Amino acid sequence: MESVREGLQLFVRRFGLLSASCCDECCGEQVSMAQGHILFEIRRKGDPSMQQVSEELGMDVTTFSRQAKSLEAKGLIVRRVSPGDRRVSLLGLTPAGEDVLGRIDRYMADRIERLFSSMTPFERETVIRSLRLLNSALATAGFCSIQQKETIASCK
């Protein structure tokens, strides 16, 4: 029986999460995995602050700021001052950012569908329930901040 760590590492490699060719296959843009997560969270949160997104992703502010500047330079996100607090920057997707994220969504949906195609409906539901359970356990075990416990768990 393989270890849990080995199983997780094999899944990450086989699913292609470490693939250097992802950008060409996926959305045709030079968007790193971290930048893809940032785009996803901006859409999910709906005009969040930079602090909210960096905390949600478990990314230090300096690294996050660099990634956000790169996405802004590519024309994928916009940064604007919060009307409620001028010290806070809010993030939003540009039409180009929405387009890139849409292509990533379609690519990921296709990969997930291909992954699930060899499973029975019961097996699919088991995997989905197991992912929910794993994410809940990550949050409960303290792998994420208090704010993340109610949303998406991520490792720091």
CB 93 within 8 A of CB 99: no
**pLDDT tens column, 55-109:** 888 888 899 999 999 999 999 999 999 898 988 999 999 999 999 999 988 988 8
Name the nearest CA neighbour of 53 among 105, 71, 65, 139: 65
- Note the pLDDT of residue 149: 42
pLDDT of residue 154 exceeding 50:
no
- Note the pLDDT of residue 54: 92
- CATH fold label, 23-116: Arc Repressor Mutant, subunit A (1.10.10)
Instruction: Mention every residue, 6+ apart, whose C-beta is less than 8 A from residue 34.
Output: 57, 59, 63, 67
Calpha distance 148→136 (Å, rounded): 10
Give the start-to-end residue ranges of the domains of the chain. Answer: 23-116
Q: Global pTM?
A: 0.77
